[in-house]
């Protein structure tokens, strides 16, 4: 992966520096700090905080971290997010693993050591508790989050399309100097 400059208020934490693929979009008001690795065509939107100061954060391809999200780590747990993941506005992703093609709804919270299986939906404002294991293809709702049912084939098919939409939107933002210029 090729590194590129990150337009944020802070970049490094001690010797750790973000590594972003050239096609990644980072909104100018987002903060990407420390040992963060972001793969091709992913995006980190306005007011998001991606802070890997005491462990690492790895974000896969075509994944979008929407406005106001907070991603942070713990001493004993990194954050790993797969490909084609949508993290909705104001979601909190703390020291957990998220598989491929997952929708994390707006305001959802996923806590330390949780593992979200691929092809799943975590509903808006759902709380996934510490150490939870979500099977692939699940719809999780509530506080604490519970498996409501398995996703239907058409719901699973929609997950990468949601992520692809943000790839297109990020490309439009990236081509607009008024959006990408540093403040």
Summarised one tens digit per residue, pLDDT across range 46-102 is 999 999 999 999 999 999 999 999 999 999 999 999 999 999 999 999 999 999 999
Q: What is the pLDDT of residue 15?
A: 75
Q: What is the pLDDT of residue 16?
A: 86
Q: How many helices (H) and strands (E) does the chain have?
A: 2, 19
Instruction: List, as own/partner pairs, every contact residues 86-89 make where C-beta atoms lie below 8 angstroms and the sequence separation is at least 24, other chains included.
Output: 86/159, 86/162, 86/163, 86/166, 87/63, 88/124
The average confidence (pLDDT) of the chain is 92
* pTM of the complete model: 0.91
Architecture of the structural domain at 19-180: 3 Solenoid (2.160)
The angle at the Cα of 99, spanning 94 to 102, to the nearest 5 degrees, equals 90
- State the Cα–Cα distance between residues 66 and 165, nearest whole angstrom: 12
Domain boundaries, the chain: 19-180
pLDDT band with cut points at 50, 70 and 90 for residue 6: very low
Q: What is the pLDDT of residue 183?
A: 43
């Amino acid at each position: 992966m090729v590194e590129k400059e990150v337009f944020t208020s802070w970049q490094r934490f001690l010797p750790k520096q973000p590594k972003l693929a050239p096609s990644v979009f980072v909104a100018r008001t987002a903060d990407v700090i420390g040992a963060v690795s972001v793969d091709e065509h992913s995006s980190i939107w306005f007011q998001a905080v991606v802070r890997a100061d005491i462990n690492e954060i790895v974000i896969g391809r075509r994944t979008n971290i929407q406005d106001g999200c907070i991603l942070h780590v713990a001493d004993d747990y990194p954050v790993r997010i797969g490909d084609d993941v949508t993290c909705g506005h104001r979601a909190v992703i703390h020291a957990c693993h998220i598989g491929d093609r997952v929708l994390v709804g707006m305001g959802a919270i996923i806590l330390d050591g949780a593992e979200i299986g691929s092809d799943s939906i975590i509903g808006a404002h759902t709380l996934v508790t510490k150490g939870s294991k979500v099977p692939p293809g699940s719809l999780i709702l509530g506080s604490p989050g519970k498996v409501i049912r398995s996703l239907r084939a058409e719901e699973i098919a929609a997950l990468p399309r949601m992520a692809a939409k943000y790839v297109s939107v990020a490309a439009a933002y990236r081509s607009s100097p008024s959006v990408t210029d540093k403040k």
